[in-house]
Amino acid sequence: MNYNLLINEIIFLISSLGFIVCLKCLASPKTAKLGNLIGMISMFAIIIIPLINLPFNKIIFFCINSLLGIIVGIILAKKIKMTAMPQMVAFFNGLGGLASALVSILELINYYNNNLNINNSDIIISFLGILIGAITFSGSIIAYLKLQELITSNTIIMPFHTLITVLLFLINFILIFIFIFTKNILLLNYIIIFNLLIALILGILLVIPIGGADMPVVISLLNSYSGIAASIAGFLINNKILIISGSLVGASGIILTRLMCQAMNRSLFNVVFGAFFIKKNNEIQIKEEQHMKEYQCIDGAIILNNSENIIIIPGYGLAVSQAQHNIKELTNILKSREINVKFAIHPVAGRMPGHMNVLLAEADIPYEILYDLDEINSEFENTDTVLIIGANDVVNPIARTDKNSPLFGMPILNADKAKNIIVFKRGKGKGFSGVENPLFVMEKTGTIFGDAKKSLINLTNEIKNL
Ligand code: NAP
């Protein structure tokens, strides 16, 4: 019996279980740190174990490459701001997809260079690996550029967009079948290059029409694709751990995608292909005579001090200004005056799932006063004042009415139904989706202009003086 092999298999099995436990732990903020640790240890074991059987020169090669990867990873993790986390995830997804596509290409070439016997299903799997991996790569890069605002986050549709997309898919499959039927080795390299290019273009064509507001769903979907591509690569190089971890990423990505679609009340089809069917963008414009009423901090302080119940809606601007600790102070003062304060958390507020929960937990704001959209939406009608801190899209009433808006159908927090609305924002900036928000020009809305942190500090001081 080969004991080395047996030990390898046992460690692989335990590490696979480690990944499953890791995912389970990540589902709750209380166990998330432990989950990360278990995931890291499992990944480390999987990387290290196969090295034992490698020749020395390959181990050195592996160590140098790993070291480079570790250095880049540490620098990126230290430099990236919390608000830029989605683009980092998109970038890593893309690299995962590219790696899987390259494995598929190498395996295919390897089979033929070594005159190995390859059946048709393996050929199809290899080409699927190239297709999915390369779509994931170029699609993720577009998602990265949109999120980083290096290109517009608006919908971009090119002439004959749908037709070209469908044709490219068809050409891709036709080329695969030409190879299967001819088995012409001379054609292989050309078909691989063609299919790779086609898949890269398809990734761009599929993601570029999707508006910024839908990017979180797209990233989650691409994450799932990168898992599927890794799983395919695992089948090709007969690596069980890659198959298992790839399937876990694929499945969890698709579950998260589904949950996000549900939170936005949209079908996945509508998120991914919705833009292809928008005929004309009749986006609602704010009329010139409708302007944003300005409040000074003292106005806000008086309104809040005279309220019996208040709902605070945090959004992306809170994360930008890092005002979570200042909200805590304001909340404490209001509560000490027997004012009922609740927080309304929208599932896609901020720039990543759970973003607001993480920020508020950082400031030790108790979980008991945080309410999800479904729990709190019926309470706005009886609320004296809503305080919107750097949120925009998640309170945009257009989502209920404007069928042409990229926000249409997304459930929003019913802030517009409250008696008074106080908004913190720096200027007239639009939300992530680039859509105007009529809530800001309503009669009962007043805006305190400036960075949310500074405004909160001033407003809290004013309340202390009342
Ligand atoms: P939002 O629609 O992006 O609006 C943020 C608002 O904050 C803007 O109106 C901006 O106005 C204001 N702001 C920015 N910096 C500020 C600062 N320092 N102080 C005060 N105000 C500031 O944010 P949201 O309502 O949270 O909605 C999230 C959006 O991001 C949704 O469209 C969602 O689909 C998308 N998204 C979500 C995720 C996720 O997973 N949560 C990931 C990616 C994208 P000014 O410029 O005028 O200040």
CA pair distance 46, 336, nearest whole angstrom = 53
**Kind and range of the H or E element at 311?**
strand 309-314
Q: What angle do CA 209, 211, 216 make, to 5 degrees?
A: 115
pTM above 0.85, yes or no: no
Is residue 211 in contact with ligand 1, taking CB distance under 6 Å? no
User: In degrees, to the nearest 5, what angle opens at C-alpha 369 toward C-alphas 368 and 375?
Assistant: 95
- Indicate whether residue 454 lines ligand 1 (CB < 6 A): no
* Distance between CA atoms of residues 304 and 384, nearest Å: 9
- Conformation bin of residue 11: beta by default, left when phi > 0, alpha when psi is -120 to 50: alpha
**pLDDT the model gives residue 297:** 95
**Which atom of ligand 1 sits closest to the CA of residue 346?**
26
Q: Which atom of ligand 1 is nearest to the CA of 396?
A: 25
As annotated, the active-site residues are 393
* pLDDT computed for residue 287 by the predictor: 60
Cβ of 349 closer than 6 Å to ligand 1, yes or no, is yes
Q: How far is ligand 1, taken at its centre, from the CA of residue 430, in Å?
A: 8
Contact 437, 430 (CB under 8 A): yes
Name beta bridge partners: 425.
Answer: 449
Cα separation, 96 vs 141, in Å, equals 12
Helix axes 215-236, 120-147, angle to 10 degrees: 150
Q: Which of ligand 1's atoms lies nearest the C-alpha of 356?
A: 41
**Which pLDDT score, from 0 to 100, does residue 367 have?**
85
Burial tier of 374 (Cβ tally within 10 Å: 0-12, 13-18, 19+):
exposed
Task: List the one residue out of 226, 284, 296, 239 whose CA is nearest residue 404.
Answer: 284
Query: Which residue's alpha carbon is at the smallest distance from atom 34 of ligand 1?
Result: 213
Q: 433 in helix, strand or coil?
A: coil
Tens of pLDDT along the chain (466 residues) come to 677 778 888 888 899 999 999 999 988 778 889 999 999 999 888 888 878 778 889 899 989 998 999 999 899 888 888 778 888 888 999 999 999 999 999 988 887 777 667 788 888 989 999 999 999 999 999 999 988 889 887 778 888 998 999 999 999 999 999 988 888 888 888 999 999 999 999 999 999 988 777 787 888 889 899 999 899 988 888 888 889 989 999 999 999 888 888 777 777 887 777 666 655 455 555 565 568 999 999 999 999 999 999 999 999 999 899 999 999 999 999 999 999 999 999 988 987 777 898 889 888 898 889 999 999 999 999 999 999 999 999 999 999 988 888 788 888 999 999 999 999 999 988 888 888 999 999 999 999 999 999 999 999 999 999 8
Q: Going along 339-444, which residue ranges are E strands?
A: 340-345, 370-372, 385-389, 420-425
Residue indicated by tokens 């608006």: 154
Alpha-carbon distances, residue 154 vs 145, 195, 277 (angstroms): 12, 28, 15
Question: How many angstroms separate the CA atoms of 156 and 208, rounded?
Answer: 6
DSSP secondary structure code for residue 288 in this structure: T
Question: Nearest residue CA, atom 32 of ligand 1?
Answer: 213
pLDDT in tens, 85-99: 888 888 999 999 999
431 lines ligand 1 (CB under 6 A): yes
Mutational test site, ligand 1, from 392, 457, 459, max ligand atoms within 8 Å of CB: 392
> Phi-psi region for residue 322, left (φ > 0), alpha (ψ -120 to 50) or beta?
left
Residues with Cβ within 8 Å of residue 27, at least 6 apart in sequence: none
